[in-house]
Amino acid sequence: MRVLLLVVLTSLFLSYVPSHLSSKTSTENKETPLKPKVEKSPAETLYEKLQLANMLKFEAFEEALQGYYTLNPKNKNILTVIDFTLPSTDKRMVVIDMKNQKVLYHTIVSHGRNSGEKYATSFSNRHGSFQSSLGFYYTENTYQGGNGYSLRLEGLEKGINDQAKARAVVIHGADYCSEDVIRSTGRLGRSYGCPALPRNVTKPIINTIKDGTLLYIYANNAQYAAKTKILSPASRGLLAQHDDLDENSQLN
């Protein structure tokens, strides 16, 4: 009798599993659903490979890359990007070797004197404005001018930068573009509208980017985003609606 009672009690005990243990076991047996893998765009992949995060905004690089593939420059080996959302105390020009996928130069660059003080916020295509012009350019030939070794630029965007050559907007070296000037004044000196470089890197950079490479000058400018015909309509529409577009950045 005792044996029978013991067997019955044992069976009852083994058949009882507390609800919280049962729930836990059930939960543990469920497989955690895998999150779908997010594919990176070619622009994101190259941006990471070039380690550009500490050099220029992704949007600047993405737009430059879109223009590079849209315009198909005759010299495809080099792409130069200037990011004017950064202050003049930062290195704002990046020269990229597209063939070997590496950064060749990362340097400070001056903006036009009427574009702003430390930051470039106003841009123009007008003669006598002494402002920088945004958008895409082809580099042309070199020459010796009043500012020494210089590089002519052809503005590719009508009404945005197509007066660059007539305005004598070129790449050249300048004494006011130096770390010493930054230390003494808190910003770079400014040009008449040219992207001016430090004297010590002017010649090697010009020799690298001359003869038909693409230059893109970016400023997260709402008016430029609405006006450019080089960036795709879809991208331009998204940019025009973007919350962080700088409405205070002027394009005259």
The model scores a pTM over 0.85:
no
Establish if 173 belongs to a structural domain. Answer: yes
Q: Does residue 11 form part of some domain? A: no
Q: Which residues constitute the domain of residue 184? A: 42-251
80 within domain boundaries: yes
The angle subtended at Cα 67 by Cα 64 and Cα 73, nearest 5°, is: 110
Q: If DSSP states are collapsed to H, E and C, what string results for 139-175?
A: EEEEEEECCEEEEEEEECCCCCCCCCCCCCCEEEECC
Instruction: Provide φ and ψ at 122, rounded to 5°.
Output: -125, 140
**Residue 3 domain-assigned?**
no
CATH code of residue 160: 2.40.440.10
How far CA 77 is from CA of 67, 99, 126, in Å, comes to 14, 5, 31
Asked whether residue 1 is assigned to any structural domain, the reply reads no
Residue 186 included in any domain: yes
Is there a domain that residue 102 lies in? yes
Which long-range contacts link 98-101 to residues 24+ away (Cβ below 8 Å)?
A: 98/68, 101/46, 101/49, 101/50
* CB-CB contact of 115 with 190 (8 Å): yes
Q: For the chain, how many structural domains are there in total?
A: 1
DSSP element (H, E) containing 183? helix 179-185
Query: Could you tell me which of 75, 65, 90, 74 has the C-alpha nearest to residue 209?
Result: 75
pLDDT in single tens digits along all 252 residues of the chain: 555 444 445 555 455 545 554 455 555 555 666 667 778 889 999 999 999 999 999 999 999 999 999 999 999 999 999 999 999 999 999 999 999 999 999 999 999 999 999 999 999 999 999 999 999 999 999 999 999 999 999 999 999 999 999 999 999 999 999 999 999 999 999 999 999 999 999 999 999 999 999 999 999 999 999 999 999 765 444 434 444 445 455 666
